[in-house]
């Protein structure tokens, strides 16, 4: 089920009403059933995978908890790792792997196997979530959960099941044991966050996607400015699509009394690539940091190993996003950015001092934000293009027949739609700018006199209705 569908608009109030109407001891059953239904609406067959993943990690964690020897604990951890990564490999990476080793299969005259399966929605998200639980149990940071129902709910909790945030068991599991009574203020706050999410998804992301799809799905069709505009639009599309999903997830969980982690923290105000990754898809970057980067030694090793750790982490982050070379190179490029940034740090500091930038810190800050934004911007060419050939074509065509005021800019989308999209981005980024300056926008709204406060709610609601795209487009991160 999609958040941006009528089905969800009907489903969610029913679940919330049922949730608060039921006695506490039965609520987990309702939430679990609702979560399975939510996922099953997409493809009921794949509920088996979800269930298998749940059983696997439930058993592994209990095994780790009851093992007397470190060897036994390690064996159970391995069981979970092999099972989860095996599932991920089979459904997500198998065809990518075989197609890349085609020459070997050809050489040994082995018929090339191909799996004709649909990528299960959100498999990377729930696999990483359950894995974090088992690893935490192994590390002694989390006690194994004995109640299968609560654990299953942790794996499948519908607001964050298919596209995160990837929640840690230490944070989410205990919340299921707390009785949440109906709270008007909390519900209002949750609904407001959901509304922001819908605004991002329907008004910005889905509108810009029309432009982006036209340009990126036809790599040879446009030259110059339309490609540049499409890549800027994609930058905001992917942000609004994913952070919009996270907002709806966080908001809908809050309505029921659950707090999910923040997944985006105004990433386009980052002053460096490493800061960008502290603000973008926080739940994944912190997962990779805690379970991969630090396990490899993090930064507390020799410089060369540190660089290696960074590159490996970003390489795998790219691979997590998709089974394709464009994603792998996209991830690695971010790793290269980080390593280059560390290596050139002393030189850049000296240059900044020479240029006098240190005396104008505000300008210096703005420049850093702009440079980081554009380094990320370039990488979206890889992320969005269908393959490496399309990436190259689009990149080369950017410089071909370049005209600043190219009338083709309005070819993929009419001027009113472009203006509506750009205005919506400006509104969003202005709010972000205020938030960046530690101005609590939501708290400010809630402090306003009733007419103004309601005016803001109405304006947002009707802006979503009048300017939203209601084509029920899937969220980009579903495919990961």
Partner 1 sequence: MNKMRTIIKTAAFLTVLVAIHAGLRQAYYAFITPRDTYLQEQESFTAHEGAYDVALFGDSHALLSVQARLLGNAANLSQLGEGYIERYYKLDYNLRKNPGKLKTIILPLDMHSFSPVWGENFNIVSSSRYVNFADYVWQTGFTTKALRDFVHYYVFPYADCTPEIYAALPSNVREKTRAGAARFDRNLAKTPPNAEQIKKLMITHYGEQREWRSEKALRYFNRIKTLCQKENINVVFVRFPVSKLYFDAASEIVPIDEFDRFTQELVDDWPGAMLLNYRGLYFDRDDLFADLNHLNFEGSIIFSQRFARDLTDLGALHPAIETAEP
Active site (catalytic) residues: 321
Tell whether residue 399 is a contact of partner 1 (CB under 8 A): no
CA distance 20 to 17: 5
> CA 292, 323, 269: angle at the middle one, nearest 5?
60
Q: How far is the CB of 221 from partner 1 (least distance, A)?
A: 18
* Count of CB atoms situated within 10 Å of the CB of 471: 10
Q: In this chain, which of 8, 127, 468, 475 binds partner 1, going by CB under 8 A?
A: 468
Q: What is the number of residues in the chain? A: 480
Q: Which of residues 294-323 bind partner 1 (CB under 8 A)?
A: none
Nearer to partner 1, 108 or 184 (CB): 184
Q: Which of residues 2-41 bind partner 1 (CB under 8 A)?
A: 6-7
Tell whether residue 458 is a contact of partner 1 (CB under 8 A): yes
Residues 283, 263 contacting (CB under 8 angstroms): yes
Q: Which two tokens stand for residue 190?
A: 């949750």
Q: In this chain, which of 145, 397, 462, 474 binds partner 1, going by CB under 8 A?
A: 462
Q: In this chain, which of 123, 469, 475, 480 binds partner 1, going by CB under 8 A?
A: 469
Stretch that binds partner 1, among 31-39, 171-179, 397-405, 455-463 (CB under 8 A): 455-463
Nearer to partner 1, 177 or 458 (CB): 458
> Mask of contacts with partner 1, 165-204, x by CB under 8 A?
-------------------x--------------------
Long-range contacts from 142-149, C-beta under 8 angstroms, 24+ separation: 142/169, 142/170, 142/173, 143/65, 144/61, 144/62, 144/64, 144/65, 145/58, 145/61, 145/169, 145/173, 146/62, 148/58, 149/28, 149/29, 149/32
Long-range contacts from 184-187, C-beta under 8 angstroms, 24+ separation: 186/254, 186/255, 186/257, 187/254, 187/255
Tell whether residue 417 is a contact of partner 1 (CB under 8 A): yes
CA distance 65 to 172: 20
Q: How far is the CB of 229 from partner 1 (least distance, A)?
A: 17
Among 293, 267, 290, 294, residue whose Cα is nearest residue 278: 267
Q: How far is the CB of 456 from partner 1 (least distance, A)?
A: 12
Stretch that binds partner 1, among 14-22, 227-235, 245-253, 452-460 (CB under 8 A): 452-460
Nearer to partner 1, 5 or 66 (CB): 5
CA distance 329 to 334: 9
- How many chain residues are in contact with partner 1, going by CB under 8 A? 20
Stretch that binds partner 1, among 82-90, 348-356, 395-403, 463-471 (CB under 8 A): 463-471
Q: In this chain, which of 218, 358, 414, 448 binds partner 1, going by CB under 8 A?
A: 414
Residues that bind partner 1 in the complex, under the rule CB under 8 A: 6-7, 184, 207, 414-417, 420, 454, 457-458, 461-462, 465-470
């Amino acid at each position: 089920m999609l958040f941006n569908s009528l089905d969800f608009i009907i489903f969610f109030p029913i679940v919330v009403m049922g949730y608060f109407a039921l006695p506490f001891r039965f609520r987990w059953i309702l939430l679990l059933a609702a979560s399975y239904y939510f996922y099953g609406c997409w493809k009921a067959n794949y509920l088996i995978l979800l269930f298998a993943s749940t059983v696997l990690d439930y058993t592994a964690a209990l095994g780790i908890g009851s093992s007397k020897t470190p060897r036994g604990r390690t064996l159970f951890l391995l069981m979970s790792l092999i099972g989860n990564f095996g599932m991920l490999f089979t459904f997500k990476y198998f065809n990518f792997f075989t197609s890349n080793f085609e020459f070997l299969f050809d050489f040994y005259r082995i018929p090339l196997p191909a799996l004709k399966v649909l990528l299960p929605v959100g498999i990377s998200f729930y696999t990483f979530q359950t894995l974090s639980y088992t690893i935490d149990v192994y590390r002694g940071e989390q006690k194994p959960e004995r109640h299968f129902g609560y654990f299953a709910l942790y794996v499948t909790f519908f607001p964050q099941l298919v596209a995160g945030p990837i929640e840690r068991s230490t944070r989410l599991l205990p919340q299921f044991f707390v009785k949440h009574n109906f709270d008007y203020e909390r519900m209002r706050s949750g609904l407001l966050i959901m509304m922001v999410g819908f605004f991002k998804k329907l008004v910005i992301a889905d509108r810009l996607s029309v432009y982006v799809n036209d340009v990126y799905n036809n790599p040879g069709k446009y030259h110059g400015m339309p490609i540049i505009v499409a890549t800027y639009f994609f930058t905001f599309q992917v942000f609004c699509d994913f952070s919009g999903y996270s907002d709806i997830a966080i908001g809908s969980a809050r309505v029921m009394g659950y707090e999910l982690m923040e997944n985006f923290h105004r990433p386009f105000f980052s002053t460096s690539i490493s800061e960008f990754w502290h603000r973008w898809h926080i739940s994944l970057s912190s997962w990779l940091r805690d379970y991969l980067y630090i396990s490899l030694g993090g930064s507390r090793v020799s410089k060369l190993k540190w660089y290696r750790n960074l590159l490996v982490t970003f390489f795998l982050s790219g691979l997590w996003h998709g089974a394709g070379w464009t994603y792998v190179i996209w991830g690695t490029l971010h790793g290269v950015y980080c390593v280059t940034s560390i290596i050139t740090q002393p030189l850049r500091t000296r240059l900044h001092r020479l240029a006098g930038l240190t005396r104008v810190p505000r300008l210096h800050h703005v420049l850093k934000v702009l440079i980081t934004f554009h380094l990320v911007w370039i990488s979206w060419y890889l992320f969005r293009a269908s393959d490496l050939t399309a990436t190259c074509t689009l990149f080369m065509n950017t410089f071909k027949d370049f005209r600043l005021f190219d009338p083709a800019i309005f070819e993929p989308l009419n001027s009113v739609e472009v203006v509506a999209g750009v205005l919506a981005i400006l509104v969003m980024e202005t709010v972000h700018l205020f938030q960046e300056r530690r101005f609590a926008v939501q708290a400010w709204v809630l402090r306003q006199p009733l007419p103004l406060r309601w005016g803001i709610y109405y304006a947002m609601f009707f802006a979503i209705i009048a300017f939203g795209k209601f084509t029920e487009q899937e969220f980009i991160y579903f495919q990961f």
